[in-house]
């Protein structure tokens, strides 16, 4: 079965560390992004999430990253963990990033 605890790296070189998974599926960790449009230097950012504890081990999960250490944005990720025949675990995710905007009329451009 997939175990989200540990280090993960994506195709762009961003890394995340998931700490211990609680009995209820909740977890925390840190996200180390390799890409950013923020003007401040990139810093590790806290994440909190939850996974669905499935018997087949190919769990769905979601987590939020607060980029508070260098940006005014927040991202949410949802995905599923797959464990292939070679026992290699792979995460497939989708994400939304919400940037802070100065006014409600600018709301249309705040989410990617």
pLDDT at 40: 79
pLDDT at 110: 94
Considering the entire predicted model, what is its pTM? 0.88
- Report how many domains make up the chain: 1
Whether the CB-CB separation of 29 and 17 falls below 8 Å is answered with yes
pLDDT at 53: 79
Whether the CB-CB separation of 75 and 96 falls below 8 Å is answered with yes
pLDDT at 41: 81
- pLDDT tens-digit series, residues 40-52: 788 899 999 999 9
Q: Could you tell me which residues come within 8 angstroms of residue 72 by beta carbon, excluding any fewer than 6 positions away?
A: 99, 100
Is 58 among the domain residues?
A: yes
Is 1 among the domain residues?
A: no
pLDDT at 96: 97
**Spans of the chain, pLDDT less than 50:** none
Residue 60, domain extent: 6-109
From the list 46, 55, 43, the residue with the least C-alpha distance to 2 is 55
Q: What is the CATH number of the domain that holds 57?
A: 2.40.128.30
Is 65 among the domain residues?
A: yes
Three-state DSSP at 54 gives coil
Is 38 among the domain residues?
A: yes
């Amino acid at each position: 079965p997939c175990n989200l605890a540990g280090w993960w790296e994506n195709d762009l070189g961003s890394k995340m560390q998931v700490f211990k998974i609680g009995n209820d599926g909740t977890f925390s960790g840190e996200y180390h992004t390799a890409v950013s449009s923020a003007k401040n230097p990139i810093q590790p950012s806290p994440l909190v999430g939850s996974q669905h504890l499935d018997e087949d081990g190919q769990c769905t999960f979601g987590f939020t990253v607060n980029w508070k250490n260098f940006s005014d944005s927040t991202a949410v990720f949802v995905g599923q963990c797959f464990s292939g025949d070679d026992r290699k675990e792979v995460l497939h995710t989708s994400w939304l990033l919400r940037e802070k905007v100065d006014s409600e009329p600018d709301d249309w451009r705040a989410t990617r």
